[in-house]
Structure 1
């Protein structure tokens, strides 16, 4: 009986060890890491970041980002507070972390010893007619107003968190990357007295799901703003071409009309008339 109890206990222990081993193995297999590829860009303002899972790219962002952060400083009278603006950009040398999933992904970008952290959350969903799309569902920005390179003489400095609410931005068909050269602006509400933080992105290309090739974006889905700007650029050329074509057609038609309506000289049929000419 004692041997039976012993064998049962050992079996349970071995089973637990096997389960924990499988879980640990799955964690290792699903290892995700962030990579900074900003050195590949010739634009000094643009950063390129990637999240990789099991050695394969699962999320990529390429953009330039500007921040405009209001903060309080003490007025000269030592009583009143006045609002200043800290303006700065996302540095190319930031540190990257992220997670990839089938319907939810996230990238976390930190710099200045975690004084600043930008988190972008992505989600995938089905919309009308079973069309699958992905979007930015949330943006969060953590900043430390005691960091003096951007916040000068901040009143009551400390860490604050600014977030979007009910966001649905950059909606893109699944399997494609979002591309937009025009500026995209988001407003985040800060824990610092509900101040509005402005985050502006431009020269954007983002893909958080379904990347087919390593370090390569999929087919580009251009934003409406870029499409309009391209149309505005090409429309004058198209109109000029049409006008030139109309002028050419008019000249040709007029030329043929003159030929057809011109009075032709009537030659005499009787040879005797040639003598009198």
Structure 2
């Protein structure tokens, strides 16, 4: 009996342990997230398509062409002075992707060249005036290593640096929509390398970090102000031409009716002597 009781106790303990472990690991399974590189679907060789998925469903997706301009120091020919050069880093289509998704905050990490370069973009949701919910880019960080000689040639005192934005509120978009902008958008990041300014340029953009209802499909687009203005400028000549044509048609119509009315009026003789012969 004691042996049987011990077996039952051991079995109960094992079941309890499995139950506890199940509770501990269940949130981890539910929150399993992975990054995917879909750049091969783009016909633009400069544009990347990157997604973060949670439990097999897309929760964040970005599609854009990116170029970073990074200043760095090189030693002058006299061996004393320092000269500032510029490194131009396009975002490659073969980058590695990681990310995190949540209800009000999400982020994507894009790295390349064996993690010599990593771009972090952070998104957040917030309520604004009249209870309107929007999402925005709240922070951007770029981690780079000037010891990587593909872009940083003869860098003086090479090493790792971090460039970050400060108090950023960019690409503000109504919740449930994707941000779309063909025009170039530029952000300035301040580097730990003597406070140098790193420029992040993006164009041909479509981004949605929250509320994606269909897998790998962006929601309704929200066009940036620049694109809206350019579209208005393109449509303005057509509108003006239509208005001018309408004015011409109205003028000709009025003139035509004026001629008809004038032709129907009887011509009265001006000489009084003509009345006697009538």
TM-score, with structure 2 as normaliser: 0.90
Cα distance, 1:29 vs structure 2: 2.7
1:16-55 to 2 correspondence within 5 Å?
A: 17-55=18-56
Q: Matched residue of 2:244: which SS?
A: helix
Deviations 1:50-107 (A, max 9, x none): 1111110000000000110000000001011110000121011101001100011010
| Residue aligning to 2:227 | 226
Cα distance, 1:22 vs structure 2: 1.8
Provide the alpha-carbon RMSD of the alignment.
2.1
Q: Matched residue of 1:255: which SS?
A: helix
| Residue aligning to 1:58 | 59
Cα distance, 1:19 vs structure 2: 2.5
2-side partners of 1:111 and 1:202: how far apart?
20
| Residue aligning to 2:83 | 82
Q: Matched residue of 1:21: which SS?
A: helix
Cα distance, 1:125 vs structure 2: 1.1
1:125-204 to 2 correspondence within 5 Å?
A: 125-204=126-205
Which stretches in structure 1 are left out of the alignment for 5+ residues?
A: 267-277
TM-score, with structure 1 as normaliser: 0.90
2-side partners of 1:197 and 1:10: how far apart?
61
Cα distance, 1:14 vs structure 2: 5.6
2-side partners of 1:18 and 1:123: how far apart?
35
Number of equivalences: 265
Regions of 4+ moved over 3 Å: 7-17, 263-266
| Residue aligning to 2:276 | none
Q: Matched residue of 1:257: which SS?
A: helix
Cα distance, 1:127 vs structure 2: 1.4
| Residue aligning to 2:273 | none
Q: Matched residue of 2:123: which SS?
A: strand
2-side partners of 1:88 and 1:99: how far apart?
25
| Residue aligning to 2:275 | none
2-side partners of 1:124 and 1:263: how far apart?
73
2-side partners of 1:55 and 1:224: how far apart?
34
Cα distance, 1:21 vs structure 2: 2.1
Cα distance, 1:15 vs structure 2: 4.4
| Residue aligning to 2:107 | 106
1:257 is aligned to 2:258: yes
| Residue aligning to 1:269 | none
1-side partners of 2:43 and 2:254: how far apart?
53
Q: Matched residue of 2:204: which SS?
A: strand
